[in-house]
Amino acid sequence: MGSEPGTVLTAGGRRNRAARALFDGLPDRYDRLAEWLSFFQNRRWRAALADALAADHPGTVLDVATGTAGVALAIRARTPASVVGLDLTEEMIRRGRANVAARGASGVTFCVGRGEQLPFPDGAFDALSFTYLLRYVDDPEATLAELARVVRPGGTVANLEFAVPDRALWWALWWCYTRAVLPVAGLLTGGPEWYRVGAFLGPSISGHYHRFPLGWTVGAWERAGLEGVTVRRMSLGGGLVMWGRRAGPP
């Protein structure tokens, strides 16, 4: 992922460094394995996030933690908006650029950056999306405030994240899958690097919600100046899409 002019990327906190170490070697197989290991739900979740943004017909969108540009491409498929994809990991951005080129898509550009320290002025974008981000930052509440800062008043912010099912049966099945099946499936389909991801994800997800329950997260969105926060659980509670509007007149 090559830096764009004006982009400043600092070393980041402990969770940033852990994310970079985890994802640096994954981009070549990321898209295919992300679908397989999510039982092909990842695409549905991305579409739901893009639909939440498209309802307001934004002209410009910042996609934070863009990875290999899956969400950026989903947004472009539903809106004429210009999308800037920002990610911490250079290798992911390289793959994102390749994916955009392979699709023959236009209107998507990229830059290196951290969600906690965005290289853009206040209100620079009509809308913002972020995906699988808050588990990889040291201060989720401060990060939400920074994300909201670069969205104009009245603009939409939308998020996709893994979740923990709240019903006992689905929780038990989710726990068995994430602790036993996912690491082995990652090893068999992607090798040692994907085994590490599979072993990491379950404890990372449940640990995050233990520290920051969903009710706390909704409150943090509101304290960041976002209103009308909506929560949509998907895939028996394994996926979560949230969205809200930046407070103030458009």
| β-sheet bridge partners, residue 60 | 82
Estimate to the nearest angstrom the gap between the alpha carbon of 59 and the chain centroid.
20
Instruction: Please state whether the predicted TM-score (pTM) of the whole model is above 0.85.
Output: yes
pLDDT on residue 189 = 78
Q: How many angstroms separate the CA atoms of 249 and 8, rounded? A: 31
Give 8-58 pLDDT, tens digit per residue.
333 466 666 655 555 555 556 667 667 766 778 989 999 999 999 999 999
Express each pLDDT in 180-200 by its tens digit: 998 898 788 778 887 888 888
What contacts 214, CB < 8 A, 6 or more positions away? 163, 231, 240
Cα 97 to the center of its chain, rounded Å = 17
Query: Which pLDDT tens digit goes with each residue over 56-74?
Result: 999 999 999 999 999 999 9
Q: What is the model's pLDDT at position 62?
A: 98
* Contact predicate 229/222, CB 8 Å: yes
- Tell me how far apart the alpha carbons of residues 182 and 174 are, in angstroms, rounded to a whole number: 10
Environment class of 41 (CB within 10 Å of its CB; exposed 0-12, middle 13-18, buried 19+)? middle
pLDDT at 182: 85
Please give the torsion angle defined by the CA atoms of residues 248, 124, 212 and 46, in that order, rounded to the nearest 10 degrees. Answer: 110
How far from 179 is each of 17, 59, 95, 193, 214, CA to CA, in Å?
24, 42, 28, 16, 22
Distance CA 201, CA 199 (A): 6
pLDDT at 2: 30
- Tell me how far apart the alpha carbons of residues 238 and 174 are, in angstroms, rounded to a whole number: 8
User: pLDDT, tens digit, for every residue of 98-111?
Assistant: 999 999 999 999 99
pLDDT, residue 33, reads 65
Count of CB atoms situated within 10 Å of the CB of 115: 25
Taking only the tens place, the pLDDT of each residue in 121-162 is 999 999 999 999 999 999 999 999 999 999 999 999 999 999
Number of Cβ within a 10 Å radius of residue 20: 17
Element (H, E) at 153: strand 151-162
Task: Kindly indicate the confidence band of residue 229, based on its pLDDT and cuts at 50, 70 and 90.
Answer: very high
Q: What is the pLDDT of residue 107?
A: 96
User: Which structural domains are found in the chain, ordered by start?
Assistant: 14-165+212-246 (3.40.50.150)
Least confident of 30-39, 116-125, 215-224: 30-39
Residue 14 has a pLDDT of 66
